[in-house]
Amino acid sequence: MIKKIAVAVSALTLSAASFAATLPDTPVPFKSGAGAMIDNVIYIGLGTAGNSWYKIDLTSDKPVWQSIALFPGQPRDQAQAVALDGKLYVFGGVGKESAEATRISVSNEVYCYDPKNDSWQLLPTRSPVGLTGHAAIALDKDNAVIVGSVNKEIFDGLFYDLEKAQGDEKALSQINADYIGKEVKDYFFNEYVLSYDAKNNLWHKIGTMPIGGTAGSAIAKKDNVITVVNGERKPGLRTAKALQFSVDKNVATFSALDDMCPANGESVQDGVAGAFAGYSGYALLVAGGANFPGSTKAYEQGHNFAHEGLTKTWRDEIYMLLDGKWVCAGKLPQPLGYGVSIEYKGGVLLVGGETTGGQATSAVQYIYYKDGKVNID
C-alpha cells in the first residue's frame, strides 16, 4: 500500500516540489488569517493582514502576490475561508463589531468574494452559533462543513466583564480565574457539525461531534471522508483525539480513529491546536500547531487550570496518518502554526503562520509524501 501511494504521489510532486521552492513569501507576515484556493489561485487575508486580501496564481511562470479588493467588514482573526462554486466564502472570526466598538466579540457573519468582479458581499445570513476557533472545509461545490468554535455567549461575556472591571485589579483577577478554572464541559464549545448550503443560503445541523466541541482543530478531506484532528478542549488544554465522518443527505456518519501518537521522545500526546493539515495521496499530513506540554496530565489529576505554570510550545512535528495508523513522519524547519493549509498537486502548502512566541511569518512551504517519507520544500 505504501509503495503504491509513493509512486502515485511521486508523479504529481516532481513539478510541484520544484515550483514550491520558488514561491515568494506572503506580502506581510501572516497568521490567524483565512485562505482557500480557486482554480489554482490562492487567496489569503485577514489576521495580521488586517482588511487586506491577496492572491497568487500558481500556474504563472513567475507567481507573485497581488492585492485584491479590501475586506469590507471589520478586521478579524481566526475566520475560515472555503471555496464554493468559484467564489470565496468567509465564515466568522473574532474582532470588533464596528470601528467604534471597545471590545472584541465572536462573529457569526458570512462574506462572499467573487473573483470575476473583484468584489465582496456581506450575505443575508448568520451562522447558528458564533464561529471562532472553528474549522471549515468544502464538502462539494455548493456546501461547506464547519466544526468547532468557542461559545459566543461565554467568550463575549468574558470581554464584557473585563471591560466593565477595568481599574479593579481584584475583580479582574477573579474574572480571569473563574474563566480559566472551569471544567471542559462548562465552556460549551460548539459540538454541532454544521453545513452551509451556498446555493440556497441555508444552514443545517448534520451531526454532533463524538469527541465534543473543540477550537483550533485541523481538518482535511479525501474523497467523501472528512478528518478532524485534535484542537482545544478548553483554554490551555488540547485533545489528542481524531475522528472521521462522511456526509450523506445532510447526515454525518462518524468513525473513530486512534489518538495521535506522542512526539518522538515524549510519553504523552497533549494534542495540538492550530496545526496545518492536508492529504498527499492517501497520506494525511498534520504539521505544527501549539500546546502546553503537561496539561493533559494536570487536568487528569484534577487541575482545571491545566496549563498553570506550563509553557506554551509551538511544535515542529509532522505526523502522518496512513492506513488508519499514526506515525511521526518528520519535522518542519521551525515550529509553526496558525497559518493556512492548501492542498496542491499531491502535497500541502503551508502559507504563513506563527512561530515561537507568536511571531508571524511570511514563508510559504510545501510538504509531501514521496518514496516512503515526508519531504519539505
Over its length of 377 residues, how does the chain's per-residue pLDDT go in tens digits? 222 333 334 444 445 555 555 799 999 999 999 999 999 999 999 999 999 999 999 999 999 999 999 999 999 999 999 999 999 999 999 999 999 999 999 999 999 999 999 999 999 999 999 999 999 999 999 999 999 999 999 999 999 999 999 999 999 999 999 999 999 999 999 999 999 999 999 999 999 999 999 999 999 999 999 999 999 999 999 999 999 999 999 999 999 999 999 999 999 999 999 999 999 999 999 999 999 999 999 999 999 999 999 999 999 999 999 999 999 999 999 999 999 999 999 999 999 999 999 999 999 999 999 988 999 98
Average pLDDT for the chain: 94
Torsion of CA 317, 216, 230, 347, to 10 degrees: -50
Residue positions annotated with a catalytic role:
232
The type of residue at 289 is G
Q: What is the dihedral of CA 331, 335, 337, 341, to 10 degrees?
A: -40
Cα 229 to chain center, whole Å?
10
The pairing of strands 283-287 and 290-291 is: unpaired
Query: Is residue 43 exposed (0-12), middle (13-18) or buried (19+ Cβ within 10 Å)?
Result: buried
Q: Which CATH architecture has domain 34-376?
A: 6 Propeller (2.120)
- For residue 311, the Cα-to-chain-centroid distance in whole angstroms is 22
CB neighbour list of residue 182: distance below 8 Å, 6 or more residues apart:
234, 304
Angle among Cα 149, 44, 346 to the nearest 5 degrees reads 90
Q: Give me the amino acid identity at 92.
A: G
Q: Kindly state the helix (H) or strand (E) to which residue 252 belongs, with its residue range.
A: strand 251-256
- The Cβ of residue 293 has, within 10 Å, a number of other Cβ atoms equal to 17
C-alpha 263/C-alpha 258 separation (Å) is 15
Q: What torsion, rounded to 10 degrees, do the Cα atoms 148, 150, 154, 158 define?
A: 180
